[in-house]
Structure 1
Amino acid sequence: MRPDTPGEQETVADLGEFGVIGRLTAGRAHPAATLLGPGDDAAVVSAADGRVVASTDVLVEGVHFRFDWSDPEHVGHKAVAVNLADVAAMGAVPTGVLVGIACPPTTRASVLDRITAGMWQEANRAKVGVVGGDMTSAPTVVISVTALGELRGRDPVTRSGARPGDVVAIAGRLGWSAAGLAVLKRGFRSPVNVVAAHRAPEPPYAAGPQAADAGATAMVDVSDGLLADLGHVATASGVSVDVRTDLVEVHQRLLDVASALGGDPRGWVLTGGEDHALAATFPGPQAVPDGWRVVGTVGRPAASGPAVTVDGAPYAGPAGWQHWR
C-alpha cells in the first residue's frame, strides 16, 4: 500500500464513526434509481419491476485481498464488482449497493477514502450508486457489500434451468485473475494487465440481461472457477456438462505468463476463480448472443449423477476454490 502523505495521518478513531461516514459520503452524485441515499435510517431505491434481486458477499483482509498486493482503490473496486456480477448472473440490471466496513481503530481515514473511491468508480461503471451501509470496529479490514438489482420484466435466470441439448457459453475473461495471482505470489507486479485482472476484475454486467433476453436457460457468475461453478449448474439442473478444451480460449498473454512462471494456463482458465465472467446455457448455438463464446454442451446426467467433464472425461485435480478446504 502506498504511504499516505503527512497531511493524511488521521485515523478512524480520530474522526469517530459519524465523522468517517460524513467524510466518505459527502459530495457523491447518485443515479436516478437512488431515491434516497445515505444519511437516513435506510436508503430508498426504485424497483419499477416490483421485484428486487439481492446478493451479498464478504471480503476479508488476508483471505480475499492483501494491501501489499492491492491498493485500497483496487479493494473497493473488487468488493463492488464481485457482488454486482451476481446480480447480472440472474439476468438483472444493478440498481444500487449497500456497504458495511469493519476495520481496526488505527486504520487511516485516507485508506477508507481510497477504498470508497474504488467502490464508486466501479459503481459508476455499472451506473448505480453506493446508497448506504454501516461501519464498525474489527481486528482486520472486512468489507461486506449487498448488491441490488431489478429484472425489468424478465424472469430470473437461475442455475436450475439447464436441459440436455443446451450449449454452454461464456461472456468475459477466464484465467486472468488466477494468472495475476500467480504473478503476485512470485513477488512480481507485471505484466500489469494480468495483475490488474486479479486486483480489480471487470465483470460483463450487460451480458447478464443480454443472455436473459436471448433465452438463457441457466446462468452463473464464475467466481470459484469455471468447472466448479458449472458444477453448481449441473447439480441444480440435474444434468451433466461437458467442457471442450478446443473451444476454450487461452489468451497469448496467459501462455506467456505460464511460460515464465512454469504455470498451467489451461488450468487457470478451467479452475481459476475471481474473473467474474458469466457462464450460461442456451437452447442451441443459434440462441447464443453476440459476445458470448460456446465452450461446451449439456447432456443427461451420468449414472453416478450430475457432473462436469472436460472433453468427455472427469477432470483430474480440484475444480476450483472452496472455502475451508
Structure 2
Amino acid sequence: MSIRQTGEFGLISRVVSRLGEPGPAVLLGPGDDAALVVASDGRVVASTDLLVEGRHFRRDWADASDIGRRAAAANLADIAAMGGTATALLVGLCAPADLDAGWAELLAEGLAEEAGLVGASVVGGDMTSGPTLMIAVTALGDLHGLAPVRRDGARPGDLVAMAGRTGYAAAGYTVLSRGFRTPKVLVDAYRRPEVPYAHGPAAGRAGATSMIDVSDGLLADLGHIADASRVHIDVLKDAFVVPDQMRDAALALGVDPYQWLLAGGDDHALAATFPEGAPLPEGWRVIGKVGTGSDVTVDGRPWSGATGWDHFRV
C-alpha cells in the first residue's frame, strides 16, 4: 500500500504504532501539537541533520530500518559529542506519494531502535509529499549537570584520543559503490554504524577539554577543533591498525586503507582532547597530540589526500 493510499494521517498512525513506549524523559509524546520533554538541569542540547536520498543513502544499498538507524545515529552522536545523553528525536519525512507505506513504518522502527540504545524516544515530527525522499532528524539531549564539551577548549600539550572506530563505513561505501556486497563487516558498518554513545558523557566527566563527532572524516573533524581552539593537532598514523578485511578490500579496490581510516566518515567515532597525564576513560585511546600553531598533520607532515567530506565541494 502506498502513502497515497494510506493518506497522511493514516501513515502517521501506522508509523507511531512502531515507535514503542516513550522513555522516562518524555512527558507527552506523539499525538498533540507538540511534545513535552524533561531536561533535568534546565538546559537542552539540540542537533539536527538532513538526509537526502541519493546523497546520504540509497534504498538499493540499505533497507528502511538501516536508513532509520543511520539517520538517528547521525544526531545521537552529536549529543554524545557534547558530553550529553539524548532524550528525544523529532523526525520530518518528505516522500513521494507512491512510496510504500511499509517502508516508512520500517524507517520508524529503525529510528526507534537506534534511539532506544541511549534511552531516547521519537516524540513527534512532520510529513509532507515531494519528489525527493528526505529525512530530517532533530535530537534533544540532557547534560545531567555537566558542562558541555565544546570544540574550542583544546590546549597545547593536550593528548588527542578517540573512542570507537573509523574507516569501516567509508570502506563499506566504497565497496557498495563498486557494485559489491562484501566484506559483510564493512558493508554492515556503512548500513548501521556502531556509535560509542556512552563514551561522550564519560569523556565529559573525565575532564575532556574538547570533543567532536567524527562524521565527515577524522582529519577534517579534528580540523574543526584545531580551528576553534587555535591550536595545531598532529595525528599518529601508527595509532591506527588496518583490519585484515579492510586491508584485503583496499588491495582489491586499489585504495589506500589509511584514506578510509583518517578521512572516511559515517562511523561516528568520538574524538576528544584531554590534559596530558590525566587518566583516559575506558574505551578511549591516544591517537595524537595538541601543539601550538594551526591545522592538522599526520606524523608531523601535511596529509596529501582528502581529509573528509564536504557537501559543497564534492
Secondary structure of residue in 1 paired with 2:239: coil
Match 1:220 to one of 209, 212, 219: 212
What is the aligned partner in structure 1 of residue 130 from structure 2?
Answer: 138
Residue 259 of structure 1 and its aligned partner are, at CA, apart by 2.0
What is the aligned partner in structure 1 of residue 10 from structure 2?
Answer: 19
Residue 285 of structure 1 and its aligned partner are, at CA, apart by 4.6
Q: Distance in 2 between matches of 1:205 and 1:219?
A: 13
What is the aligned partner in structure 2 of residue 239 from structure 1?
Answer: 231
1:1-325 alignment runs, 5 A limit: 10-26=1-17, 28-301=20-293, 306-325=294-313
Asked if the contact 2:259/2:305 (under 8 Å) is kept, the reply is no
Q: Distance in 2 between matches of 1:91 and 1:149?
A: 10
Residue 251 of structure 1 and its aligned partner are, at CA, apart by 2.1
Q: Distance in 1 between matches of 2:241 and 2:160?
A: 14
Q: Distance in 2 between matches of 1:94 and 1:284?
A: 29
Q: What is the TM-score when the length of structure 1 is the normalising length?
A: 0.94
Compared with structure 1, are the counterparts of its residues 34 and 182 closer, same or farther at alpha carbon in structure 2 (3 Å cutoff)? same
Task: Give CA deviations for 1:202-239 in whole Å, capped at 9, x if unaligned.
Answer: 21110000000010000000001000000000000000
What is the percent sequence identity of the aligned residues?
56
Q: Distance in 2 between matches of 1:105 and 1:179?
A: 34
Q: Distance in 2 between matches of 1:320 and 1:102?
A: 28
Q: Distance in 1 between matches of 2:138 and 2:56?
A: 16
Q: Distance in 1 between matches of 2:240 and 2:220?
A: 15
Q: Distance in 2 between matches of 1:249 and 1:220?
A: 21
Paired letter, 2:176: L
Compared with structure 1, are the counterparts of its residues 254 and 285 closer, same or farther at alpha carbon in structure 2 (3 Å cutoff)? farther
Q: Distance in 1 between matches of 2:299 and 2:80?
A: 28
Task: Give CA deviations for 1:39-97 in whole Å, capped at 9, x if unaligned.
Answer: 00000111111100000000000000001111111111100001000000000011110
Residue 248 of structure 1 and its aligned partner are, at CA, apart by 2.1
Q: Distance in 2 between matches of 1:263 and 1:118?
A: 31
- RMSD over aligned CA atoms reads 1.0
Paired letter, 1:234: A
Higher alpha-carbon deviation: 146-155 or 244-253: 244-253
Q: Distance in 2 between matches of 1:252 and 1:286?
A: 33
Q: What is the TM-score when the length of structure 2 is the normalising length?
A: 0.97
Residue segments in structure 1 that go unaligned for 5+ positions in a row: 1-9
Q: Distance in 2 between matches of 1:240 and 1:14?
A: 57
Asked if the contact 1:225/1:273 (under 8 Å) is kept, the reply is yes
Paired letter, 1:13: R
Secondary structure of residue in 2 paired with 1:88: helix
Higher alpha-carbon deviation: 20-29 or 162-171: 20-29
Asked if the contact 2:217/2:262 (under 8 Å) is kept, the reply is yes
Compared with structure 1, are the counterparts of its residues 318 and 14 closer, same or farther at alpha carbon in structure 2 (3 Å cutoff)? same
Task: Give CA deviations for 1:109-136 in whole Å, capped at 9, x if unaligned.
Answer: 0110111111111111121110100000
Q: Distance in 2 between matches of 1:143 and 1:272?
A: 22
Residue segments in structure 2 that go unaligned for 5+ positions in a row: none
Paired letter, 1:130: V
Q: How many residues align structurally?
A: 312
Q: Distance in 1 between matches of 2:2 and 2:56?
A: 23
Task: Give CA deviations for 1:225-274 in whole Å, capped at 9, x if unaligned.
Answer: 00000000000000000001111232222112212222211110000011
